[in-house]
Amino acid sequence: MNELDNLLSYFDLENLEVNLFRGQSLDIGTGRIFGGQALSQALKAAYLTTDDHQVHSLHAYFLREGDCSKPVIYQVERARDGRTFSNRRVSAIQNGKPILILACSFQKFEQGLEHQKSMPDVPLPDQLTEKTLIPGDKIKLLSPRMRRTLTTQGPFEFRFVNDVDPFDSEAKEPIKRIWFKARYPLEADQSMHRTLLTFVSDYHLVSTATLPHGISYLDPKLQFASLDHAMWFHRPFKIDDWLLYDCDSPSASESRGFATGHVYDIEGNLVASTAQQGLMRLWDKAKD
């Protein structure tokens, strides 16, 4: 089983009862459930209660840290089923308490007026090379768990337009541009592609808010965690073809960083947009 097939196996949710599903937890090496896992599994649970619709938007709140050694229960509420739109609310539950709540809306495909923001002028992925997120001379600074997380080849290939060293203390413009795609071919199932994009959209987004402050999201003095996440899907796409993630952070305040993202395909079509807030609290653990 390759890395992508392994990830897809976590979306094979067990149907426990009507509107009730169980998903296994993926350990990416952080000791807690990755936010993208809870998001994408909750979306998959909602998909399992719909028919002939595609998700066009989702809004989620992260409520508690999830335990990656335990499965997650997903309870779906069928809020509305109309001729064109369907709406779902999903609670992701561990130990009897919600760790995430998700609201999402689905739509049957229809033609309409179109316009979009242009893709930024950046090098194409074949002009870039795949690099590790952490420079080789800095890997030794990581804990063994984080070293495994950040240096192991995953199900997606990333090519960074602007190289960002997480240990660089120089303040930078709050912009990240990253080409990415699944490492292996996928079936032409748009629901699967949108579920996988939901998973990977939690990578690199809100950490953009740390760049103007010259502090790494890996710094132990920084308490850093996702608070909420929103996505809008504009057009069909294939995640096994190159996509550009154009991330920027227009604001940080009150111990929260805010970032937005736009996802373009290789032809320059805007296929999805994202927004996320994360806790960015500087603290001295030795004093707590």
As annotated, the active-site residues are 202, 226, 276
Task: List, in order, residues 6 or more apart from 98 with CB less than 8 Å away.
Answer: 63, 64, 91, 92
Distance of CA 8 to the CA centre of its chain: 15
What is Dmax (Cα atoms) for the chain? Answer: 58
Task: List, in order, residues 6 or more apart from 219 with CB less than 8 Å away.
Answer: none
Tokens of 110: 């229809």
Task: List, in order, residues 6 or more apart from 272 with CB less than 8 Å away.
Answer: 197, 201, 231, 232, 233, 234, 237, 262, 263
3-state helix, strand, coil in the chain (%, to 5): 20, 35, 40
Among the listed residues 138, 129, 116, the one whose alpha carbon sits nearest the alpha carbon of residue 160:
129
Instruction: Find the radius of gyration of the CA atoms of the chain.
Output: 19
Task: List, in order, residues 6 or more apart from 162 with CB less than 8 Å away.
Answer: 175, 176, 177
Residues paired with 245 in a beta bridge: 178, 263
* Three-state secondary-structure class, residue 40: helix
Q: How far apart are CA 109 and CA 55, in angstroms?
A: 10
